[in-house]
Structure 1
Amino acid sequence: MRLPVVVGVDGSDGSLRALDWAAAEAARTRLPLRVVHASLWEHYEGLRPTVDAGVPGEQLLAEHLVASARDRVRDLRPEVSVVADVQPEDPVAALVRESHEASLVVLGSRGRGRIAGMLLGSVGLALAGRSHCPVVVIPARQPGTPASPGRVVVGISDAAGPSPATVFALAQAASRQGELTAVRAWRRPAHELLSHPPLGGSSFSTHRRQAEEHLGEVLKALETLEARRKRDTQEVQDGSGTVVIHRSVAQGPAHEVLLEAAETAELLVVGARRSSGWHGLQLGTVNHAVLHHSPCPVAVVPDTYQG
């Protein structure tokens, strides 16, 4: 089943960037595109055109918004099958529901109205924490350093084996005919920093070696999964789609290490853990930091995602 790329639009400049990114993603992966605008009508701030057709002016505004977005995609990416929909409900609830039948959901990091001044709007944070498929958030600002074509960066956690985020990142790199940089950040425990200074060098080497060994094990398992996928899908073994994987082990806070690695990336991928609570996914400090400060688009992948 070819699940669509879903993009949320609200008429802001940020949502236009998200729309263009989503259209390019749909074109590259040969997936349909679904453009969604969801809003409670009363939240339109002063934009109430007068009409005599018996239809609320806010609804006409929303329908015009998605029609313009659909036409923009048809002009930019005529090969993409695109549909547009208006949903008169809370944006987070609508996009979470859409995520059940989507390959990924895309939105801009800034919205319109009261959240326009925030680096990352409340819709983006809430959706990243509750979506059932990967969520890609497009930054509001242009990167200071040009991205290397096809370069995808993924953060490797302490978990054993390839996470759904790692598998998703590999697929993204393959679809871009690019390369994957797997980043494993590590830090010495706080108690070691406060005691036994003479043993610092030995401790440093031990923790770094452990991080390198863990990264190697994860990537070995990832390569096995990729080889099995290619065999099962009977891909032509001509070298196409083969991804060069780079390893990066660095000491420091994970969010700082990832943000530095993402300076020249087209996409940064991180995972999120599923919680048993009502709020869905647990977005930790690393997720929040990269969503707020990444120079490139960020994909947040639930740990329950099956691909």
Structure 2
Amino acid sequence: MSETREVVVGYDGSDFSMQALEWAMDEAELRKLPLTVAHAWRWPYGETGEEARSHLRKAAEHVLYHGADCARSCSSITEVTTDLYEGAAAERLTELSAGAELVVVGSRGMGTLARTVVGSVAGYVAAHARCPVVVVRGPGPIPVPLHRGAVVLGITDDTPDVAIAFAFDEAALRGLDLLAVHAGHIRAVAWGTAMPPVSDVEITTHMVEEDLLRRLRPWRDSHPAVPVRTRFVTASAKEALVELSREASVVVVGGARATGRLGSVTRAVLRHGASPVAVVPVTESMPQAGSAPPGEN
């Protein structure tokens, strides 16, 4: 009998962790999984007495139980548990990811900096987790959107199957379109010796988008209710995904391949994207290619 996995959310009582909690509750409800609300604390001032540490621990317990109470009272999740940890939040969330279906964290950015800064916890977990990580961006509670954007999948020749599968599953769970985006350059075509090389944008775009549809066919077949669109853009992948994130419900990108280091495109989307970003790693426990139809908190 397989072990039931869970959705894990890092929670510290801040506005951005409230965003993460709301996203995690949605995920747990849609996936019909238990939710674990995690909070880490540690004494920051060197050696101290047990009484002072006890007061800080009680404050941490209060924060954690507040998050758990919110999840229990504002959702239909049948099982909400808590995880209180003395130590680094990033390390604890990474540990918990080994038994999780998904880890959700808030971006540490506030105000203007929210568009350009990802906190150390979010960045570390996104790079080292053993399961997909959703980094929910923004300084305050999630507004009710007037228009739900698509699940945007950044796709290259090296995009792992697990990232494609996650994007399709997310689109299916949330009832959203999926937009697969590939960035590249238009090759120059020479029509004759008397003419200089010119780029044929329409031909190249059509060919690339048809190739994308062929690659996505196994997941399209297994998710027939998900409307799928493809787009070829001549901008850099970083610029294209950041721009598309302004209207997306979530942007899905590939994560680290057991190196603990994210690629430049993934780092850029995490730093500058306007929507939640799902980082899907390749790990030994995840099916590989050809597997189609899978501050502190």
TM-score by length of 2: 0.81
Which string of whole-angstrom CA distances, capped at 9 and with x for unpartnered residues, describes residues 83-110 of structure 1?
A: 1110112111111110000011001001
SS of residue in 1 equivalent to 2:103:
strand
What amino acid sits opposite 2:216 in the alignment?
Answer: L
Match of 1:249 in 2: 232
Contact 2:34 2:78 in 1 (8 A): yes
Report what 1:236 is aligned to: none
1:214 aligns with 2:216: no
How far apart are 1:266 and its partner, in Å? Answer: 1.3
Alignment partner, residue 244 of structure 2: 261
Q: Does 1:125 align with 2:108?
A: no
Q: Are 1:39 and 2:29 matched, yes or no?
A: no
More helix by share: 1
Asked whether 1:283 is paired with 2:262, we answer: yes
Determine if contact 1:164/1:303 at 8 Å carries over to the other structure.
yes
Match of 1:194 in 2: none
**What is the aligned partner in structure 2 of residue 19 from structure 1?**
21
Farther off after superposition, 297-306 or 204-213:
204-213
Identical counterparts, % of pairs: 35
Residue 264 of structure 1 and its aligned partner are, at CA, apart by 2.1
> What one-letter code is carried by the residue in structure 1 that aligns with 2:107?
S
Task: Give the CA deviation at 1:163.
Answer: 2.0
Alignment size in residue pairs: 274
Which residue type is aligned with residue 127 of structure 1?
Answer: V
1:281 counterpart SS class: coil
- Deviation per CA, 1:122-166: give whole Å up to 9, x if none: 111111110110000010247999463372111111238x62111
Distance 1:177 1:119 in 2: 30
Structure 1 gap segments, 5+ residues each: 190-196, 228-240
- Residues 169 and 43 of structure 1, relative CA distance in 2, 3 Å threshold: farther
- Report the equivalent of 1:156: 155
CA distance in 2, matches of 1:13, 1:92: 18
Partner of 1:300: 279
The residue type paired with residue 36 of structure 1 is A
Residue 30 (structure 2) aligns with? 28
Secondary structure of the structure 1 residue equivalent to 2:57: helix
What is the distance in 2 between the residues matched to 1:146 and 1:106? 20
Alpha-carbon distance between aligned partners in 2 of 1:169 and 1:56, rounded to the nearest angstrom? 43
Asked if structure 1 preserves the Cα contact closer than 8 Å seen for 2:6 and 2:33, the reply is yes
RMSD: 3.2
Structure 1 outlier segments of 4+, above 6 Å = 115-118, 142-145
CA contact (8 A) 2:109 2:139 kept: no
What secondary structure is seen at the aligned counterpart in 2 of 1:246? strand
Contact 1:147 1:264 in 2 (8 A): no
Cα distance change on mapping 1:150 and 1:25 into 2, 3 Å? farther
Shift of 1:118: 7.3
Query: What TM-score, normalized by structure 1, do the two folds share?
Result: 0.78
Cα deviation code 1:255-288 (max 9, x no counterpart): 211122232221111112414xxxx333122111
**What is aligned with 1:231?**
none
Q: 2:97 is matched with which residue?
A: 99
Q: Distance in 2 between matches of 1:81 and 1:155?
A: 33
Does the residue aligned with 1:184 lie in a helix, a strand or coil?
A: strand
CA contact (8 A) 1:186 1:211 kept: no
Task: Tell me the amino acid that sits aligned with residue 101 of structure 2.
Answer: S
